[in-house]
A and B are shown apart, each in its own frame.
Chain A
Amino acid sequence: MRKLPVLLALVSTLATATVVAKDVTLLNASYDPTRELYRDVDTVFAAQWKAQHGDNLTIELSNGGSGKQARSVVDGLAADVVTLALAYDIDAIADHGLLAKNWQQRLPDNASPYTSTIVFLVRKGNPKGIKDWPDLIKSGVQVITPNPKTSGGARWNFLAAWGYALKQPGGNEAKAQNFVRQLYQHVPVLDTGARGATNTFVQRGVGDVLLAWENEALLAKQELGNDAFEIVVPSVSILAEPPVAVVDKNVDKHGTRAIAEAYLKFLYSPQGQEIEAKHFYRPRSPDVAKQFAAQFPKVNTFTIKDVFGTWRQTQAKFFADGAIFDQIGPGT
């Protein structure tokens, strides 16, 4: 019994210690090629969080196709945050009541802390002399791009081509449709995802030009250790905005809202922006952008909002069953 006070003292010191140092887990459901990016982000953020709050933070990461990840979250994957390839997929999660419909207004820059754009990957020396969009529909040029109906990323490719044609002098919907129709007639293989298309182009040697996200083109060049390819930046392209959001229902259930919000804010911080730029995403911060100017050549971009309106409208007009892509895509 004499030991009791000692024990109590011990317990109370332990208790005060544990009040500060919680073990917290956060799940980030992301799209395909972001593992390296978020591994670096997570390391830095977890260390920062521990220094500021004392919690031991473990960030779990799930990777998959953007649409598939959205379906998983809808079906019960308990992600605290989602970091996907296009807003349409997060809209779909919002439609099921898992987060507020105005999620895109809750963070700066359309809730996209980093961006990318659509570029051309061509073979060494650019044998077909491809410099801009019109070169893609010259006779004898084969274009590799994935199917926009199965790949979220490929929808940006389609929209980039459409936007380019629309923005030409005298451009209108009919001309844009005609241009994109011709473009897809030059597509011999319609892979289901960006990675498959890259493989077809790089490893299988099919096609003269690959339409790709800039970050993936740079990643492919780095990872496949290949200097047999060059990146061509077209005169006009689309600003690809991969969005991020906190999944309200899940963070409220897990009690992780504060940390999830801080995590996404970190993506906008100078430190976060620098990590993103290192992983080939274009940072929003002008300062960080200046630092990486050599990596990202200047390109004139337009946004989805500029040309197409919301993602819901865009999806319905172009990529729903029987919509424009089904009317003008390959095989039609």
Chain B
Amino acid sequence: MSTHASTRPVRWPRRLVRGLFILIAVSFLALFLLLPLAIVFIEAFREGVSAYFATIKQGDALSAIRLTLLVAAIAVPLNLVFGVAAAWAMARFEFHGKALLGAFIDLPFSISPVISGLVYVLLFGAQGWFGPWLDAHGVKIIFAVPGLVLATVFITLPFVARELIPLMQSQGSEEEEAARVLGANGWQMFFRVTVPNIRWALLYGVLLCNARAMGEFGAVSVVSGHIRGLTTTMPLEVEMRYNEYDYVGAFAVASLLALLALLTLLVKTLLEWRYGGEIAAHAPGGH
């Protein structure tokens, strides 16, 4: 149908454009992401495979892994529920102060990690607003697991909401309205129409939230107290080993964190394979 072809300058062959794009993207990813990752593994295995496994088994690495998983397992679902609620309100309704609400959701990202742990210290620390009351009642928040969870929730709060809002805005609400008109109740509409439409954004949001929850150092460091084997998460363990001149040990624990992140991506890939057909069927415009 391209009747204008003759008047146009030479049209780049589709395959060339494609190849060029892939080349640029892949080289950027390789330079900026693959190389640093390679450095981590090279340093971790500098003294050989057996040294790697010895250093992982040693000391407080295991309790750090357990604590990291525990904190993520509490923080991520909390932010998932919040993200869905906030996205529903923001993408489906008009109300005053919506832009302000959006900016508030992003706030945790714009706070320097050096301060985002401190804000909870100002609330719950011994010198903080609620510190004396908590102390009198024997409740420990800071320098214990609740503090770690709070700081992590704070840092990762925007992820799910931020994934969902632009997608839900671009999708519009016609399908949901249709479901309501056809007699579906709220939950039926939500689980049968909304969730299938946003499942991939949900998944991305959860994965990002999870990755960041496991990798966060700055905020968690302030509220942890760094008690070995009790309140040290994996990133803290990495830092502490590094500061003790245990270079290989630090990078070994860091490599485990990278592996955990890759593992969650494996889950995503499996889901894509399993449900790949369904997405196509549910994609807007595919009906």
Contact = CB atoms under 8 A, between A and B. Distances in A.
- Direct contact between A and B judged by beta carbons closer than 8 A: yes
B166 interface: no
Contact of B125 (A35, A76, A219): A76
A64 B245 contact: no
A61 B240 CA distance: 12
B245 A224 contact: yes
A72 interface: yes
B244 A63 contact: yes
B244 A60 contact: no
B91 interface: no
Contacts of B244: 32-33, 35-36, 63, 223
Contact of A77 (B143, B242, B247): B143
A223 B142 contact: no
A166 interface: no
Interface stretch (B167-175, B225-233, B256-264, B266-274): B225-233
Interface residues of A, number: 29
Nearest to B128: A75
A223 B247 contact: yes
Interface in A272-306: none
A96 B246 CA distance: 35
Given A75-B127, A77-B143, A219-B245, A62 B135 contact: no
A198 interface: yes
B245 A75 contact: no
B229 A75 contact: no
A20 to B, nearest CB: 27
Contacts of B121: 75
A171 B135 CA distance: 53
A52 B221 CA distance: 37
Contacts of B242: 195
Contacts of A68: 222
B247 A76 contact: no
A163 interface: no
B243 interface: yes
Given A32-B244, A74-B127, A76-B131, 10 more contacts: A33-B244, A62-B226, A63-B240, A75-B128, A76-B143, A77-B227, A223-B244, A223-B245, A223-B246, A224-B247
30 contacts: A27-B227, A29-B225, A33-B245, A35-B228, A35-B244, A36-B244, A60-B227, A60-B228, A60-B230, A61-B227, A61-B228, A63-B240, A63-B244, A64-B221, A64-B226, A72-B143, A72-B226, A74-B126, A75-B127, A75-B142, A76-B126, A76-B131, A76-B142, A76-B143, A77-B225, A193-B243, A219-B245, A220-B245, A223-B244, A224-B247
Interface of A: 27, 29, 32-33, 35-36, 60-64, 68-69, 72, 74-78, 96, 193, 195, 198, 216, 219-220, 222-224
